[in-house]
A and B are shown apart, each in its own frame.
Chain A
Amino acid sequence: MNKIREHINKVIFILGIGFMSYGLYRGEIDIVFQKAIKICLECIGIG
């Protein structure tokens, strides 16, 4: 059982790295950056 969990953990970790890399490749980081460097009016309750 522990071994299965360890395998699942490894698969999720590697898949996560793959997902992050693909997300970076297709430019998602720019969306995150653009959103994060402007004051999010909705988040602070103004907009």
Chain B
Amino acid sequence: MDKLREHIRLMVQTIVTIVTNGYVKGFATGKIYTGDLKKVCVPGLNCYSCPSALGSCPIGSYQAVIGDRQFKFTFYITGFLMVVGSTLGRLVCGWLCPFGLTQDLLYKVPFIKKIKRIRRDKYLRYFKYIILLVFVLILPLFVVDIIGQGSPVFCKWICPVGTLEGGIPLVLLNDTFVEAIGFLYIWKITILVLTIVFSILIYRPFCKYICPLGAIYSIFNGISLYKYKIDNSKCIKCGVCSKACKMNIEPFKTPNHIECIRCGDCKRVCPTAAISSGITMVNKEKKEHNSSEI
């Protein structure tokens, strides 16, 4: 049953990745999808320059709009992130992000010794907020060319997703791109290789320390509609959930911690089934409580 639950998450992640990257023709032609679906953002990190991508990346789109001469703020993408964040929080990271799936699979690659927690982990977690602030919100707004267009700084200099999903396949499929390879491409390949190596050693290093989208959704984790709940009458505070948590949080103390990606490992291992999850409302909880009292 536990294995089945683990596989359900893997299946959902795979299905979401396939559905949002359903333009298989792109890999045959070396071109990207240009239909109307690209007007809509996907919830996870998924480069829109991937030959198979059907939707837009929210982080890329955010930089595109604020980097445009017309707008200095994007209501469309901010609103989208608010709706998704207030509904699901970081459930997106654990269940709906293609790059999350990539890292999950890489962590399954056997290695002599996996690193459970790196030094200064607690402080390094804040690095993703700096990345969000500097590379997504500030630099694309202020570093502009002569016609006032900003550059997608995060996508250009940091994001390994664009290299993996777009850079490598498009260079392999287009000879003209091969001729254009320079320092930036080598830099991005280096970042990708480092991300892959670290993902084998550490569970989801990109989500923990770098991802600006995870940083945004983490802000909503405490108030999102989907949440985790501890039944204090059942919890024996054994700490088994903390040991099982690959994001290194203590679910029995803070079930809706900003770092929780809702993977469900804690629920699976809890010996007393004290952890539950779902979309809960205070009024509904009160009604249930009252009816149980009656």
Contacts and interface: CB of A to CB of B under 8 A. Distances in A.
B82 A13 contact: yes
Interface string B45-75: 0011100000010001100110010110011
Contacts of B163: 44-45
A19 B47 CA distance: 23
Contacts of B64: 31-32, 35-36
Interface string B15-39: 0000000000000000011101011
11 contacts: A12-B82, A15-B82, A19-B76, A28-B71, A35-B61, A37-B34, A43-B60, A44-B47, A45-B156, A45-B167, A46-B167
Interface of B: 32-34, 36, 38-39, 41, 47-49, 56, 60-61, 64-65, 68, 70-71, 74-83, 85-87, 151-152, 155-156, 159, 162-163, 166-167, 170-171, 177, 180-182, 184-185, 187-189, 220, 222-225, 281-282, 285
Contacts of B285: 2
B47 A26 contact: no
B87 A39 contact: no
A40 B177 contact: no
Contacts of B185: 45-46
Contacts of B189: 45
